[in-house]
């Protein structure tokens, strides 16, 4: 929404938190591929997939909170009428 922002959107702490979780999810997805190659039981594969999805959900939660605290807050303060459609869109993406 704003090209001229100079402050970083993500703090160092949030950035590292997200990247750590994303790397863990990547590792879990490589694990799922191996499990399928090795013909491991479906329920084990589903459990591992579910763990990766939880990790991504945590990342989405952090990014969504960041969006609320930064972009959405700025837009609400300057009374940008588009912010509510954008917010609903972000929440919809998060909840699917």
For the bound state, the minimum distance from the C-beta of residue 77 to a copy of itself, rounded and expressed in Å, comes to 6
Residue in the structure block whose two tokens are 């997805």: 29
Instruction: Count Cβ atoms below 10 Å from residue 90 Cβ, excluding itself.
Output: 17
- CA 8, 65, 62: angle at the middle one, nearest 5? 80
Beta carbons of 94 and 64 less than 8 angstroms apart: yes
According to CB under 8 A, which residues from 61 to 90 bind a copy of itself? Answer: 61, 63-73, 76-77, 84, 86-90
According to CB under 8 A, which residues from 31 to 50 bind a copy of itself? Answer: 32-33, 36-37, 39-43, 45-47, 49-50
| 95 contributes a contact to a copy of itself by CB under 8 A | yes
Helix (H) or strand (E) holding 66: helix 42-67
Q: Helix (H, G, I), strand (E, B), or coil: what is residue 12?
A: helix
- What is the binding site for a copy of itself (CB under 8 A)? 1, 8-10, 15, 18-19, 22-23, 25-26, 29-30, 32-33, 36-37, 39-43, 45-47, 49-50, 52-54, 56-57, 59-61, 63-73, 76-77, 84, 86-91, 93-96
């Amino acid at each position: 929404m704003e090209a001229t922002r100079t402050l970083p959107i993500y703090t160092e702490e949030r950035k590292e938190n997200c990247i750590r979780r994303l790397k863990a999810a990547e590792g879990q997805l490589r694990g799922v591929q191996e499990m399928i190659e090795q013909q491991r039981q479906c329920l084990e594969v589903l459990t591992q997939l579910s763990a990766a999805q939880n990790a991504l959900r945590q990342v989405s939660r952090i990014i969504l909170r960041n969006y609320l605290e930064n972009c959405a807050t700025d837009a609400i303060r300057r009374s940008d009428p588009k912010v509510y459609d954008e917010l609903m869109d972000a929440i919809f993406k998060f909840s699917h």
